[in-house]
Structure 1
Amino acid sequence: MKLIWYTSSILTILLILINNPKSQGFGSIGNQSQLFSYTRSTQKNILILTTITASIFVLLTIILTSNIIT
């Protein structure tokens, strides 16, 4: 159970960093700005994945702290 919690937390952090509107995404890492250009559907899918992983993280946090399942 904790492995899923750790995985969802790492995925949530990574997806939030990828979806940061103030950065250029992965294009700011180097001169590869054309390699990681996002379309609207890709941004929407990343937003949906971010919401799902964040929800899983919050749900597992509640479950693990309430000792329902150990």
Structure 2
Amino acid sequence: MKLTWYIASILAVSLILINNPKAEGFGGIGNQSQLFSYTRSTQKNLLILTILATSAFMFLTIILTSHFNL
């Protein structure tokens, strides 16, 4: 159960960092800005994945701290 929690936390943090609107994203890495150009549908999908990963992390945090074993 904790392994799932760790994976959800790493996924959530990674997606949040990718979705940061103030950062240049992966475009600042060399000349590879064309590879990581985001369309509106890509941004929407990343937002949905971020919400799901964050929700999974919060749910698992509540389950693990309440000592409720599934």
Name the TM tier (shorter chain). Answer: over 0.9
Distance 2:30 2:6 in 1: 29
What is the percentage of aligned positions where both structures have the same residue?
Answer: 70
Distance 2:19 2:27 in 1: 12
| TM-score with structure 1 setting the length | 0.95
Deviation at 1:12, TM superposition (A): 0.4
SS in 1 for 2:68: coil
**What is the CA deviation profile of residues 2-50 of structure 1, one whole-angstrom value per residue up to 9, with x for unaligned ones?**
1110000000010001101011210112211111000000000000000
Partner of residue 58, structure 1: 58
Unaligned stretches of 5+ residues in structure 1: none
Distance 1:49 1:30 in 2: 26
Runs of 4+ displaced beyond 6 Å: none
Supply the RMSD in Å over aligned alpha carbons: 1.0
Kindly report which structure 2 residues correspond to 1:29-44, keeping only aligned pairs within 5 A, or say none.
Answer: 29-44=29-44
One-letter amino acid of the counterpart of residue 30, structure 2: G
Partner of residue 4, structure 1: 4
Distance 1:29 1:17 in 2: 15
Aligned residues: 70
Distance 1:29 1:16 in 2: 18
